[in-house]
Amino acid sequence: MRVLVVEDERKVADALRDGLEAEQYEVIVEHTGEAGFLRTTTEPFDLVLLDLGLPGRDGLEVLGAIRRSGIKTPVVVLTARDAVSDRVAGLDRGADDYLVKPFAFAELLARIRALCRRGRGPEPFHVSVGPVLLDVVRRRVTRNGEVVDLTTREFELLSHLMRSKGQVVPRESLAREVWKEPARTTSLDNVIDVHIARLRRKLDVDQSSQLIHTIRGVGFMMCVGEP
Ligand code: CA
């Protein structure tokens, strides 16, 4: 899960980053409303934590702008203003939830989990491995920010490998989940190998930065560095 934190108070922002990273979230921090808005319009996130009291463009304005530009990423508003009118305004402008500061970190985590359950399921919408980012909703893959052109099958294959990053994915699992041909009598091994080779050519620009590793006799694993 990629989370954008928009918070001008450095101490609060750092605490959020540390806490969320400890929970395996990928965290990007911006300290102004303008920078936060720019991020949401140029990069995919699964969740935005948005402080309301920001210098310049405040959180409510940013939220309105995010929704007007058609971005549906869940937004949790963080506010020190414990006023009913602020909460209502936040929800009116398209916030999915809000937390009044100071809040317990455990509560924030619980709200995030609840949003995931309520929304599009517990599956993350974006997965990253090293420089490669996969956007499940838009079915788009980028490497260092540049779009990688993939066929439907290549996308499915990569998606399966990336969702299981750091784990060995057996060939049988790829045959079942990506090719979906349970009745097939001949092995798909060669077909899988050809597709893996194509993915490598598109993603692993050089040997030293190899992301798709062959686990001899079993299958494949995606990770940064040696498996
Ligand atoms: Ca603030």
**What predicted TM-score, i.e. pTM, was given to this entire model?**
0.56
Pairing of β 97-100 and β 126-129: unpaired
At 159 the pLDDT is 92
In this prediction, residue 122 carries a pLDDT of 41
Whether 183 shows a pLDDT value over 80: the answer reads no
Q: Where in the chain is CATH 3.40.50.2300? A: 2-119
Using one digit for the tens of pLDDT, what is the confidence trace for 26-79?
A: 999 999 999 999 999 888 898 999 999 898 898 999 999 999 888 888 999 998
Phi, psi of 187 (to 5 degrees): -65, 145
The structure tokens listed for 199 are 């993915």
| Distance between Cα 10 and ligand 1 center (Å) | 9
Neighbouring-strand partners of residue 97: 76
Q: Which fold has domain 2-119?
A: Rossmann fold (3.40.50)
Is 93 or 132 the better-scoring residue by pLDDT? 132
Q: Retrieve residue 84's tokens.
A: 């009913």
- Of 5-19, 33-47, 118-132, 155-169, the poorest mean pLDDT is in 118-132
SS3 (DSSP) at 43: coil
**Quick one: what percent of the chain has pLDDT higher than 90?**
46
Distance 80 CA to ligand 1 centre (A): 8
Looking at the domain 126-222, which fold is it?
Arc Repressor Mutant, subunit A (1.10.10)
* pLDDT for the residue numbered 101: 84
Q: Check whether 123 has a pLDDT greater than 60.
A: no
Q: How confident is the model at residue 118 (pLDDT cuts 50, 70, 90)?
A: low
- Ligand 1 centroid vs 78 CA: distance in angstroms? 9
Token pair, residue 36, equals: 């936060």
Domain with CATH 1.10.10.10 in the chain: 126-222
For residue 54, the CA-to-ligand 1 centroid distance in Å is: 5
Rounded to the nearest whole angstrom, what is the distance from the C-alpha of residue 5 to the centroid of ligand 1? 12
pLDDT at 83: 62
